[in-house]
Chains A and B, each alone.
Chain A
Amino acid sequence: MYSEKVMDHFSNPRNVGEVENPSGTGMVGNPACGDIMKLTIKVENDKITDVKFKTFGCGAAIATSSMVTELVKGKDLTEAEKISNATVAEALDGLPPVKMHCSNLAADALHSAIEDYKKKQGAK
C-alpha cells in the first residue's frame, strides 16, 4: 500500500533525533489520532542549517517526517515556509488516501518550528 520511497524513508529515516539548543521547536498531532511529530531546527542567517525529528506514528507519519527534514535542510526560511504537506506527500510519490489527512503533518511541524523561531527572535 505504500510507495517504495515511503518504505525507504520508513526503514531508513533521515535526521532522527533532536537538534542541540534548537533555534525553533515544532510539535504537532495528538495521541488520539495516533501521530505526534516533534521537529527541531537550527537557523543561521535565515537558513535552516540543521533539522531533526522524533515521531510517534505509523509508516506514513515517519516517512513524511523524514522527508521534510531532507527537503528543508540548507533552505532559506522563506523557501522552507512554502513547503506544504502536499509537497511532502508528492516527494514521497504519494500516500494512500486514508493517510493524506491523518498522518501527513510533517510540514505543519516545520511551520510550527519556524514560527517558534520567529517568536523567539521577536522576543530578543
Chain B
Amino acid sequence: MNKIYFDHNATTPVLDEVFEAMVPFLKEQWGNPSSIHWAGRGTRKAVEDARESVARLLNCTPLEIIFTSSGTEGDNHAIKGLAYAKKDKGNHIITTKVEHPAVLNTCKHLQKDGFDVTYLDVDTDGLIDLNALKSAITPRTILITVMFANNETGVLSPIKEIGDIAKEKGVTFHTDAVQAAGKIPIDLQKLNIDLLTISGHKLYGPKGVGALFARRGVRLVPLIHGGHHERNRRGGTENVAGIVGFGKACDIALKDMDREITHLKALRERLEKGIAEKIPHIKVNGHLEKRLPNTANISFEFVEGESLLLNLDMKGIAASSGSACTSGSLEPSHVLLAMSLSHELSHGSVRFSLGKSNTAGEIDYLIEIMPPIVERMRSMSPLYAAAK
C-alpha cells in the first residue's frame, strides 16, 4: 500500500541532509559546549553556527536566539517569563481564542496566579478584529500574544498591524510562529515582534529542539534556572545534535522557501478544487487568501472526522481532524468553534497539511478515493437522511 503523508503541521520527516549533519554530534563530537578544552570547542562552534542559521531564517541577530526543547517550552518561556518580569507594571495579557494549547493553557495557568487574560474572538474567517484588540489594551496590559499562523486552518494573523499597535501602546508582543517558520518569510527587521517561538520538527528538523527569539532589551524571567547556558536565559547543557540539525533545517528552509511556496500552493489548489468538484456539501475553513500555502482544512457535512481519518488511514493516507474524538476531549476543535462553525461541521473537519515530498499524483489519489468514502459514511449517517 502507498503511504501518503498529509500531516506536516503535526510533524515533518527529518531531511537526509539534516540527519547527516547531526550524526557526528551523536558520536565523535560529544564534548560539552561549555568546556574550554579541545572536546568542547568544536561543539560550541557547531551550536553558534546553528544559532546563526536560525537567526538568518528570521532576519534577527544570533544573540537574540535562545535554544529551547520545543515550541511549547518557547511559548511558556515567553509568556510566563514576560509576565513575571513585568508583574510590577501590570497583570493583563491579551490573546485569542484560537491559540495553540501551549499558549492557551499557559495563559490559563497565569490566571490562577493573579493575571487577567482577555481572549479575543475571531470572525468566521478565523481573523481577529484589530479594533477589538486596540480597545482591549489597558494601562495594565503587559503582553499581547497572537499566533503567526494557525495550526488547524493555516490562517495568518495580521502580525504587522498587531506589532504596530503593540509598539505604539508600549506593550510587549509575542507570537507563536511554530507553523509559520520555514513555510513563509518572517522578517524581524520589518515586524514589531518582541518575542517569537519556533520549533525544529515542524520544518524538517529533529524533535526536541526549538528556539525563542527575544528582541534585544526584552527581559524575561527564565523558565529553567540553572547554569550560565544561553547567556543565563535557559539553563541546561545544550542538545547539540538537535541544535545542529535544527540549524541545518533552517538553512534549507530559507534556501528552498520560494520554490516550496509555489509547489505547495499548486498542490493545495489541486486538492481543494478536486474535492469541491467531486464531493458536495463541503466547506473549506479559514480565510482563503490569508493562509499558509500548505494547509487545507475542509469540513465534510453529515460525517464525523475520525471516521474519515480511519478510512483514509486504511488507504494509506495520514491526515488529521478537528473532531473531538482525535483530541482526547469531548469538545471538537476550539479553533473551528471560535470561527462559529456548528458542532457538526467542526466534528466533520479534516486537515490536510502538505509538505515538500508530496506530489500531484498523491493529491489525485486522494481525490479518487475520498468521494466513495464520504458517500459511504454519509449513507450511514442519520443527519444526511434528515437533510435530504
Contacts and interface: CB of A to CB of B under 8 A. Distances in A.
Interface residues on B, range: 20 to 34
B382 A37 contact: yes
Nearest to B342: A31
Interface stretch (B10-18, B29-37, B298-306): B298-306
A61 B305 CA distance: 12
Contacts of B323: 34, 58
A123 interface: no
A99 B305 CA distance: 15
Contacts of A16: 379-380
A24 B16 CA distance: 61
A2 to B, nearest CB: 8
B379 A55 contact: no
B381 A34 contact: no
Contact of A102 (B305, B307, B324, B381): B324
B343 A56 contact: no
A34 B323 CA distance: 8
A12 to B, nearest CB: 11
B314 A34 contact: no
A32 B344 CA distance: 7
Contact of B343 (A11, A18, A31): A31
A76 to B, nearest CB: 27
Interface size class of chain A, counting residues whose CB lies under 8 Å from the partner chain? 20 to 34
Contacts of A61: 304
A98 B325 CA distance: 8
B355 to A, nearest CB: 25
A103 interface: yes
B385 A54 contact: yes
A56 B384 CA distance: 9
Contacts of B325: 34, 58-60, 99, 102-103
Nearest to B321: A58
A56 B381 contact: yes
Q: Enumerate the 3 nearest inter-chain pairs by beta-carbon distance, A residue then B residue, closest first.
A: A58-B325, A58-B306, A38-B382
11 contacts: A13-B380, A16-B379, A18-B385, A32-B343, A34-B325, A36-B382, A56-B302, A56-B304, A59-B325, A99-B325, A102-B325
Interface of B: 302-307, 310, 314, 323-325, 328, 330-332, 342-344, 347, 379-385
Interface of A: 7, 10-11, 13, 16, 18, 27, 31-38, 54-62, 98-99, 102-103
Given A56-B304, A98-B328, 6 more contacts: A13-B380, A31-B347, A33-B324, A56-B382, A58-B325, A59-B307
